[in-house]
A and B are shown apart, each in its own frame.
Chain A
């Protein structure tokens, strides 16, 4: 089994404080993995590390042949300026950036794909609306449409279903399952354990350090969840320099 990415003794953090500590493990190519853990467990930080916007303090992330352009990332709180006058179709079309770059025009085939992506997330009829007129759930649908067009081999989702109603969650999960069916690797930070159990075959539980990683049923045990909470509470104490040797 080839891996899409491998964490090799990875420590990520801000200043000198680690948010992810000494993480090891592999994410298999084509796997659908949920990342769970208490608040402050380093889940978002881990995705930032994978997407390259945060450089490791120590260790590294190895990519199994993936280039940066093949990774799509949906941040937790997208800093989209929703008052900016951009139409939904134009926002979605930016998912084609890898193909059209900053300057090339949109061909008819591109427009057709934009329309297809918009209908795949159930936003038909909203194409020309400014993004400021959309609700939170509709914005999330539009961002998923943009992800669809990015055609990425690795998709990173940071709490994609937070503050979104049940119908929207169901629709967006079907998009995630479509990616999974197409053999893409998906890593999603999630809080809703029921969603994880129902739709995500694999789970990685994080509490700054790795708690467990494997088939969802084996990871989401009461014992692991209790341990994760305890580890995070222990992290809240005063910081100290990590004493473990570098290699």
Chain B
């Protein structure tokens, strides 16, 4: 029974094994980045950046067709351009980061939709937006695993400056010149992981595997190491469950994975011990009991 349910799809079909491999790579690479996005209150930045890489991927597609390399490079260039321009405007003018980022990603998104709609077909747009996790080839898998490795390694190297940049940026600026470098390194990691994610899940769904497990983990863990561990675990479990669900129920895989992560988030909101609804209700009960005593 369990064999039929859980192992059979992966044992019998190579494309399912590849999909699983790709999703686990993305879980390991993107989710820790998502934890930092959440802690920096930049959860929506992930969404903005995902839209920003669209024109790059579209240009890559127009130049070289459904080419992994061209779409990756295109996406990276577009994403980095938006991140750098928004960061530049934020640092040299009075405009805040959210506003400047919104401005540039909207421009980028409009360019992307324009390119895709004038030159491509709707099928192509669907591919870029929703990915093809069941059609990952060897090159794509190598790319996803490489990006996950680079991402984890970079995060380990910049961990201390990054934590400080999040917790006390003013102090980091006063003791070192790392502040700007750290910020842009982090944004590069966001772009890199979104580009990895869009091959499997598409530009829109890629953000889901980055942010949803991180948001869910907030209800289970407090320390930053624990947050990352819990978030990666949730992302992996969501990947496996989502793929199995999509196999048995005949659903598209990308949305299935993200929806399972969404269910994990919903359960965490209700039952998570660190500030979940049930935990809060219990807390309130305690407080009332205390206030009654003289």
Whether the pair A102, B160 counts as a contact (CB closer than 8 A) is yes
If A85-B227, A98-B175 touch, does A80 touch B160 (CB 8 Å cutoff)? no
Whether the pair A81, B166 counts as a contact (CB closer than 8 A) is yes
Q: Bound complex: CA of A187 vs CA of B167, how far in Å?
A: 25
| Interface of chain B residues 75 through 103 with chain A (CB within 8 A) | none
CB neighbours (8 Å) of A150 from chain B are 175
Q: Bound complex: CA of A51 vs CA of B173, how far in Å?
A: 11
Any A CB within 8 A of the CB of B9? no
| Interface of chain A residues 69 through 88 with chain B (CB within 8 A) | 69, 72-73, 75, 78-81, 84-87
CB neighbours (8 Å) of A97 from chain B are 175-176
Whether the pair A78, B170 counts as a contact (CB closer than 8 A) is yes
Name the one of B39, B158, B178 contacting A85, with C-beta atoms under 8 angstroms.
B39
Any A CB within 8 A of the CB of B21? no
Any B CB within 8 A of the CB of A38? no
Identify the closest chain A residue to B224 (Cβ): A85
CB neighbours (8 Å) of B176 from chain A are 97, 101-102
Name the one of A73, A80, A102, A146 contacting B178, with C-beta atoms under 8 angstroms.
A102
Name the one of A102, A130, A146 contacting B222, with C-beta atoms under 8 angstroms.
A130
| Interface of chain A residues 186 through 213 with chain B (CB within 8 A) | none
CB neighbours (8 Å) of A67 from chain B are none
Whether the pair A73, B174 counts as a contact (CB closer than 8 A) is yes
CB neighbours (8 Å) of A123 from chain B are none
CB neighbours (8 Å) of A73 from chain B are 174
Any A CB within 8 A of the CB of B292? no
Q: Bound complex: CA of A81 vs CA of B224, how far in Å?
A: 14
CB neighbours (8 Å) of A51 from chain B are 174
Any A CB within 8 A of the CB of B163? yes
Q: Bound complex: CA of A87 vs CA of B175, how far in Å?
A: 20
| Interface of chain A residues 112 through 169 with chain B (CB within 8 A) | 130-131, 146, 150
Any A CB within 8 A of the CB of B152? no
If A102-B161, A103-B160 touch, does A84 touch B166 (CB 8 Å cutoff)? yes
CB neighbours (8 Å) of B223 from chain A are 85, 87, 130
Q: Shortest Cβ distance from A185 into chain B, in angstroms?
A: 17
CB neighbours (8 Å) of B227 from chain A are 85
- As a 0/1 sequence over residues 162 to 197 of chain B, the CB contacts with chain A under 8 angstroms (1 = contact) are 011011111101111010000000000000000000
Whether the pair A84, B174 counts as a contact (CB closer than 8 A) is no
Whether the pair B167, A91 counts as a contact (CB closer than 8 A) is yes
Any B CB within 8 A of the CB of A2? no
Q: Bound complex: CA of A91 vs CA of B166, how far in Å?
A: 12
Q: Bound complex: CA of A103 vs CA of B181, how far in Å?
A: 14
If A73-B174, A85-B223, A97-B175 touch, does A103 touch B168 (CB 8 Å cutoff)? no
- As a 0/1 sequence over residues 240 to 271 of chain B, the CB contacts with chain A under 8 angstroms (1 = contact) are 00000000000000000000000000000000
Q: Bound complex: CA of A102 vs CA of B175, how far in Å?
A: 10
Any A CB within 8 A of the CB of B281? no
Whether the pair B167, A103 counts as a contact (CB closer than 8 A) is no
CB neighbours (8 Å) of A146 from chain B are 171
Whether the pair B168, A85 counts as a contact (CB closer than 8 A) is no
CB neighbours (8 Å) of A231 from chain B are none
Q: A69-B175, A80-B171, A102-B176 are in contact. List 6 more A-B contacts (CB 8 A).
A: A51-B174, A78-B171, A81-B166, A81-B168, A85-B227, A87-B223
Chain A positions near chain B (C-beta within 8 angstroms): 51, 53, 69, 72-73, 75, 78-81, 84-87, 90-91, 94, 97-98, 101-103, 130-131, 146, 150
User: Which 9 pairs across A and B sit closest by C-beta, in order of nearness?
Assistant: A84-B167, A97-B175, A102-B161, A80-B168, A86-B167, A85-B224, A73-B174, A79-B170, A102-B160
